[in-house]
Amino acid sequence: MKKISLLLLCFLAICTVYAQNNPAQSNVLWVTTPDHTNWLYKLKEEAKITVSLYEYGVLQDGLTISYSIGPELMPVEKTGTVTLKKGQAVISLGSLTKPGFKDCQLRVKLNGEEYKHHIKVGFEPDKLTAYTPMPADFSSYWGKALEEAAQVPMEVTKVFVPEYSSNKVDCYLVKIQAAKKGSYVYGYLTVPKKQGKFPVVFSPPGAGIKPMNPLKDMFYAENGFIRLDMEIHGIRPDLDEATYEEISRFFGRGNNSYLVNGLENRDSYYMKKVYLACVRAVDYLTSLPEWDGKNVIAQGGSQGGALALIATGLDPRITACAASHPALSDMAGYKANRAGGYPHLFTNFEGMDTPEKLKTLEYYDVVNFAKIIKVPVFMTWGYNDDVCPPTTSYIVYNTLQSKKEALITPVNEHWISQTTRHQILDWIKKNLL
């Protein structure tokens, strides 16, 4: 018990450091304030921001700040400088004639060091629509794939993990046979240590090939939920970081990334087995004798947010979904001369813009799964996120036709706070059957 308490304290300390847009333990603080309190503007309306800079908490004066402005994740359209007078400067970001976001990148030199910051504002983003079309055979394709995957026996091994267990929660490392025979995924299963029947939460991971543990979301089990934090690559999640680094170098980066592996064909694409494994994880959770027989929630962030939405579209057993800044969303959006979704295939990789790969993306993009979701969805995202840009989060949210709720946190980059994590659980509780 003492060991898990120390681990939790360390994790919470890390969350506190990273839950901000300014560098941890920096002497310099940027404060950027749009002239619209919600950071949103009408098309063709001029947007302005007021910039302030503090060192050691002292407002700075007379410094020259360089800026560059352009549409989100697109080439810069305007550059310039402003001088802080009485600690402030005003910069015009101009406007947009089509729905989207503008980004203002800021730089300053202070005592020989360069400090950077940025801020994005939106122009009628509630009118953003997807570039990615939905194939006519989308539902039949995935229906057939699910039927084939269902023929694979669900073999499971389950091992108690004392270091993540407590007087309130039992934790197990599970290994589940998934989309085809001999193909496995792992996960940490956390179960309330008390008698009863409980809702189940399926939680897929963020992007990458890296170690994982269930500590940050242990409060789900402490609040009466069974939770599976899933790994998607068939690699034990408790391996050391050095081993994961070797694996990641081999097939987790650049044009070797699993996110582009087999993309030239919808049946060979790496993510097909991942999507089907998500449904297999729900198979497992709904087989547990402790399940309440009604509630199945999909929840995740970034790639995990994408997979939560995808699983919700694929599996009618899922009764609610909570997704933070989902990846894999309108990935071909760059073809419309605006930001596309992570993993930014058209800027981070080579040879992606081919008819075959674009066609495959249509079967794997979150926006097309969002069109068939029928259950309540909660989404949260920030405007300053460059990993999963707000353009694509808005597109997913605008696409949803089911009951939905959004928590928009403009200042956030690619993170959510511990408070928001608990708000998500509160929303889930309110949407239990």
The residues, ordered by sequence, that sit 6+ positions from 280 with a Cβ below 8 Å of its Cβ are: 149, 152, 154, 176, 177, 178, 179, 185
**DSSP code of residue 85:** B
Q: What are the backbone angles phi and psi of residue 153, rounded to the nearest 5°? A: -60, 145
| Candidates 233, 325, 344, 414; catalytic one | 414
Helix (H) or strand (E) holding 62: none
Residue 32, phi-psi category: left (phi > 0), alpha (psi -120 to 50), beta (remainder): beta
Helix (H, G, I), strand (E, B) or coil at 169: strand
Helix (H, G, I), strand (E, B) or coil at 250: helix
Are 230 and 205 in contact, with CB atoms under 8 Å apart? yes
Which residue type does 111 have? N
10 Å CB burial of residue 394 (0-12, 13-18, 19+) is buried
Sign (positive or negative) of CA dihedral 34, 35, 39, 41: negative
Among this protein's residues, is 414 annotated catalytic?
yes
First to last CA, the chain: 34
**DSSP code of residue 215:** G
| Candidates 302, 324, 329, 393; catalytic one | 302
Helix (H) or strand (E) holding 38: none
Active-site annotation, residues: 302, 385, 414
